[in-house]
Amino acid sequence: MIILNELDRKLQCFVYSSGALCRNQETPNMQDLFALLVLLHVQVCLLLKDCEWKVVLNDFDNLGGDQAVFFRQHPVTSVASVFQNLTDSAIDLNDKNSHYLGFPYYLKISLTCLTQDAVKVIRNAHLTGLRPIATITFEAPVNTEHQKPEELQIEMTGAPYRLQGPCASEEVCRMCWYTPMPMTKRSVVMEVLVKSNGLGLEVDNKRFVMNINGYMKETETGLQSFLGEKVTSLGEMISLDSRSRPIWSTFNQAPVLILGGFQGYKIILVSDSEFADFTAVEVGIDSCWIGSVNCPLDSFSSSIFDAIATESVLLLRQNQLVYYITGNYSVLSLPVPGSGLWTRVLNNVCVSRLNPVPFPHNGSEFVIALGGGVQEGEFFLGTIRDGAVRFPESHAKGRRTVCEYLNISCAILWAVYITEDKMIVLLVEGKKKSDKSDYYIMAYDQASGDFWMLYSIPRFIPKDTEKGFVMLLGLEEYTDYLLIPRGLSYNPFSSIFYIWGNVILQSYDLVNYIHLSDFPQRSPISYFILSYVGEFVCVTVSEEIWFSVEGSSVVVRLYPSEPWDTYFSLQLMRGSKDFSFNETFVSLFFNKEGLQQLVYIPDGHGEGQLIRRNFPLHYILSYQHLIIHRYHWLYLQDSQYIRFFHPCSFSVMRLEDLPAPQRFTRMEHYYTEPPDVMDRTGFHNNMSLAVYQGLIFQLLWLHADYSRPYADPVHDPTWRWWKNRKQYAEYFFYVASNGKSSGGIYVNMEGYTKTYDLQPNNQLPSKIYLDKNNAYSFSVFLSIRSKAHSMGEMQEENSLDFVWLTVVLAHPKFVVSDLQRHYLMGRGSVLYSVTISDTGQYPKQELSGTNLLKSSMALKVINSATNCYHYTASGPKLQGYAMVPIFIGCPPGKRLAFDITRTLKYTTKQNKRYFDCIHKNPELPCFFFNDVFYPFFLIQDMVTGDSGPFMGSYTLRIIGGGPYSESRIRLYSPSETLDYNTANGSTLLSLIWMRANRTKSALTDPEGFNVFSGTDCGIKWVCEQNSPCYDVVPLDLTAPDYFFLVEVSNRAVDKSTYCDYDLKFVIHIHGLRLSPSRAIAFMKISMAVLTGIVFLYVLHQVLGPVIGAGFTRLIQRFEESLAVRTARGAPTTHPPCRPASAATATCPKAARKNWPPSVSSSPSRVPACIQMFLPSLWSPAAREPPRFLPCSLRRAGTFVSDLADESRQARPKPSWACYCSDLAPLCGCSWLKLRGSGLSTVALDQTVTQNDKDLNPRGVALNASARLGSAENGGRPFPVQLEQGLHFAAPGLIRDGTQAPGVIGRAASGRSAAPV
């Protein structure tokens, strides 16, 4: 204990960054003390952080199983059936926006420990509240043609899950946490960051890579790679003297990395996790190259020399042959399927080298093939787009080669493609008859096909000036050592160009160069690695590793070195399995965690393992300062101290006042948590995890679907999800709090949200996007050491006069910086206010997130490169230098949307009306043709949640349209678009619309399209004669509809942004006018139809009765003729209206023509008229002729009243004419009435009796009674009021079902009428 306390006290005074004074201890060798203290420090940290996160993939149907390979890319549809059980929950299954599917994999999260039992640690961590939080970050695809680029991440809380297996406890023994492993459309590169929720066990964050491996296939024997045969042993092909080789790929875009270069083997290492694990494959290509005169071959080798990985294609070179293979990536929607076999390209070309192009451009990736043999001096730029590889013919076809341009015999050693300038930079070796060669930096312009010389490399290495660098101005001195360049590198962010070989030359403009003289020329560089964040590493042919910071002249050897030996020994002492004396250095590369090293460690039995480990860069640099800068003795107040020199001019550096990061990083962030389960243990089951899958799938689907042109009333993708159930949230919570949720699962609607307010955490962002005139501001706090810690120091070690902050910008024309220095004298500190702003001079205007200019900001304190560092929980870190990439242009996550809500409101207000379609569609409202249309638009920021009106200038054009439905929309050609939208077309009679405000002059672009703004946006629909919407034929009685495809763009007319807001949406117009000719034709037809209807109505009213009577007579005669023919064969009876004698003849004149002459010639009989009336018309007050009812049986003829002969002339006429219509032959009339006939009672009785005999052959009884009223008015007799009551003895003869009235009539004197 005493020894530990003593060592702990020594450790406390041994502070690396502050350099405190330590009282002299009786330790003769301070270096041994240094090693002992560092070892103790490592052991203490090891005890504190014994466990770390472990993440593997599990198949959807194999929870708790072995690690799976990420190759399936189709959603799991069986998840939808699980949601059918969630009837009484926040899930609305009837919502048309619901897509509850699943992903094919889960993330299994657990802990792995060095000294403790991981099973117990996981259980204890769970019981103390630990929950892992997994943040998945999706990398945007290379080709953004089908989907706008975006920065997206989703945060998911792990769901505890009880693993199956024997367990002594009834609750839990083995457990882990699960989250879904989501996928998004067109993203194959994913990063998983696992962190703790801050409760329970303290575990550091850890990063994992989960990329889709599109080069796997399922077979009957299991999962296999179609790249070739799997190799199980690496011992034979990796030896201790094997050289390392680089890993080439498209930067941050390749899901699968490959590594070749194994001498004598056509074997590559394939990894979808940045070599956290890998598979060795012997590629299935033929090794049958034979040298020829055109392509001489010194020696044959089956080795894979150059291997390059892109997003969807792998390329490699064997000898002079180039092959490629395309992966199966359905999530990328590739137009070409996975090839499955290696395909050879450049069949007739002798290829000497493949050079990678790290960055894609305009949706394509590139690779450069350098020619050899007869093609020496030529190069071929291959383009990879959507899985298709295309190598065009040589640039030299029909043009001069670079050798012809230089007029020498030459060869191209290396090529770099600068995509922003579309320029290829070549390293050309000019061959001479002697052994000496000249080297040139040549440029090739793709557009013009011209070459020009950028720089002629000096023949010899410049002399060192002991400053660490030499500016090559032509006045410097040179050594006798030949300068032999071997390759080129270019960082587009810093605009620094490197020439490397046995020297390192760097340039900011490709013309003027600086020689970094700290790098020795004894060992040429084998390959050069850029981090693209301000650091680079080079590996020499002797396997030395050198490091430097961009913009600095300091070049440090990391391996082999004394600091490396110290760190290596400490790792062996602590028993690390990642280090060994017999390890073989395989490769070195950068990722987001820093510098990574691949080593092969044999196990002594002919086998071994390939290990990826973090290269201890910061440890080595910090150890190096303590070794190089020796301590010295210091006497103070009669005490002896030791003090270390401080190369760093400050002790503390902090970043303050940082803005919210999302506005500049453009990272869209979603927060989710697993659904709650009703199980009392809180452990999830397969069903609840499937629900978790469906919820994440639905969230990401809503995110992808939110790019619709019509803006939602609420600017949030999750608004559509919960808008129908939000009002019942408290009810669902109440049910869940009582453990009664349907399916045993409760979905909290607040657990699936989009986050807009992430905090900066006092760290610079990983990248910055700047739109036009945007600015990024923050503060830097720098402090020197206090007097208690700076005794005996020189002024330059601890003075504010030596603390200066600088900002280096890669493109000062487009980005400027402003630094303001503030002294905080009382605190021994300075505060810098830093502002990085865009100048607004960038000339391009592009779509959101596309073709951005790569730039950078390097923030550094003078003399701090590799000199300043500070300790963190994960070890020492360099400080005083930070490089942040800057992207200039239109940031991702911004869009233009049609503000349908404001458009409807303002259009209704201005037109004072709104006519919607008959069949309403809430997703696509209608606008009336005759109303002025006022469109408004929104600028929506998908990252920050901001949404506001677009006040810039824009053009509006109709680019397509069709009548009746959206499916009939046709895209217009460019000439048609010009004719239909501008006055510059062939004729003014082609316009579809025009500006509503014609009082002021219209602003147009060079093509003639109208330019609108947020305050002047009214348009009027006209549909002229030659326009496609002219004279649309209606399909029914409503006016025709038309659907227009509208394009709105601010390109070249809006100077307020770098964004080219291009919006296309459909607008529904109804109530289109007919053409004048068609309108007149329709009017004529309508008038003709109306006139015809009126004419027929009048004709019916006038001639209808006459025609009816004639038709009735026709029917009567037909029936009479039929009755006569029938009576001939029957017994002799009297037919209807044929009385037996003249004495009983009572039929009218109309019927007399058919009587016998003896009857018709008798004038002594008074005919009678039998009339059928309605009882209501029997009133004496009636003034109109009675209305007649047709008899129900329709079998009688027409009896016309005829008071003829003497009686008719002697007596007054009745008050109205008497007609009988359709009287049945049975004489079944309800009432016979004659007013003013003057018949006597006896005559009436005789008439009725005779009618009963003659007109009622079936024997229906008729009763009649007659009363003769008294005579008044001077003794003259009044017309006789005759009332008769006839009663049918056979009811039901009336066919229409009416019955005879109960009261037949009344007498004039008011006496009761005789009942029927």
Q: Which distant-in-sequence residues (6+ apart) come within 8 Å of 296 by Cβ?
A: 373
Query: Distance (Å, rounded) from C-alpha 12 to C-alpha 6?
Result: 10
Give 464-471's long-range contacts (Cβ < 8 A, gap of 24+). Answer: 464/517, 465/517, 467/517, 467/553, 468/516, 468/517, 468/518, 468/553, 468/554, 468/555, 469/514, 469/515, 469/516, 469/517, 469/553, 470/514, 470/515, 470/517, 471/512, 471/514, 471/515
Query: Distance (Å, rounded) from C-alpha 325 to C-alpha 342?
Result: 5
With H, G, I as helix, E, B as strand and everything else as coil, classify residue 1169.
Answer: coil
Residue 791: pLDDT band with limits 50, 70, 90? low
Instruction: Tell me what pLDDT residue 415 has.
Output: 96
Of residues 512 and 18, more confidence is placed in 512
Angle between helices 617-628 and 30-48 (to 10 degrees): 150
Whether residue 1038 has pLDDT greater than 60:
yes
Whether residue 246 has pLDDT greater than 60:
yes
Instruction: Tell me what pLDDT residue 1033 has.
Output: 86
Query: Distance (Å, rounded) from C-alpha 389 to C-alpha 424?
Result: 19
Percent of the chain past pLDDT 90, that is, above it, reads 48
Tens digit of pLDDT for each residue in 1099-1141? 888 888 888 888 888 998 888 888 877 766 555 444 444 444 4
Give me the phi and psi of 493, to 5 degrees please: -75, -45
Query: Distance (Å, rounded) from C-alpha 1061 to C-alpha 950?
Result: 10
pTM of the model: 0.80
Instruction: Tell me what pLDDT residue 1173 has.
Output: 37
> How far does CA 1032 lie from the centroid of its chain?
36
Q: Which of 869, 861, 865, 665 is nearest to 781 (CA)?
A: 861
Of residues 1069 and 788, more confidence is placed in 1069
Residue 733: pLDDT band with limits 50, 70, 90? very high
Whether residue 493 has pLDDT greater than 60:
yes
Give me the phi and psi of 280, to 5 degrees please: -90, 125
Q: Which residues, in sequence order, are bridge partners of residue 519?
A: none
Q: Which residues, in sequence order, are bridge partners of residue 855?
A: 886
Instruction: Tell me what pLDDT residue 792 has.
Output: 54
Instruction: Tell me what pLDDT residue 797 has.
Output: 63
Instruction: Tell me what pLDDT residue 449 has.
Output: 86
Whether residue 419 has pLDDT greater than 80:
yes
Gap between the terminal Cα atoms of the chain: 137
Instruction: Tell me what pLDDT residue 1130 has.
Output: 54
To the nearest 10°, the Cα dihedral for 687, 693, 699, 703?
A: -160
Quote the mean pLDDT of the chain: 81
Tens digit of pLDDT for each residue in 1046-1082? 999 999 899 999 999 999 999 999 988 888 888 888 8
Give 9-17's long-range contacts (Cβ < 8 A, gap of 24+). Answer: 10/37, 11/37, 11/40, 11/41, 16/622, 16/625, 16/626, 16/869, 16/871, 16/876, 17/648, 17/651, 17/868, 17/869, 17/870, 17/871
Instruction: Tell me what pLDDT residue 768 has.
Output: 96
Instruction: Tell me what pLDDT residue 639 has.
Output: 74
Tens digit of pLDDT for each residue in 919-975? 888 888 899 999 999 999 999 999 999 999 999 999 999 999 999 989 999 999 999
Each residue of 1259-1285: b (16+ CB within 10 Å) or e? ebebebebeeeeeeeeeeeebbbbbbb
Whether residue 872 has pLDDT greater than 90:
no
Query: Distance (Å, rounded) from C-alpha 994 to C-alpha 895?
Result: 26
pLDDT-wise least confident of 166-170, 202-206, 619-623, 1176-1180: 1176-1180
Instruction: Tell me what pLDDT residue 23 has.
Output: 39
Instruction: Tell me what pLDDT residue 732 has.
Output: 93
Instruction: Tell me what pLDDT residue 869 has.
Output: 85
Residue 26: pLDDT band with limits 50, 70, 90? very low
Whether residue 685 has pLDDT greater than 90:
yes
Q: What is the DSSP letter of 1155?
A: S
Residue 886: pLDDT band with limits 50, 70, 90? very high
Instruction: Tell me what pLDDT residue 291 has.
Output: 64
To the nearest 10°, the Cα dihedral for 342, 345, 348, 350?
A: -90
Q: Which residues, in sequence order, are bridge partners of residue 822?
A: 831
With H, G, I as helix, E, B as strand and everything else as coil, classify residue 13.
Answer: helix
Q: Which residues, in sequence order, are bridge partners of residue 718?
A: none
Tens digit of pLDDT for each residue in 106-129? 999 999 998 899 999 999 999 999
Q: Are 586 and 613 in contact (CB under 8 A)?
A: no
With H, G, I as helix, E, B as strand and everything else as coil, classify residue 899.
Answer: coil
To the nearest 10°, the Cα dihedral for 924, 929, 935, 940?
A: 10
Percent of the chain past pLDDT 70, that is, above it, reads 79
- What are the DSSP calls for 372-392, one per residue? -GGGTT-EEEEEEETTEEE--
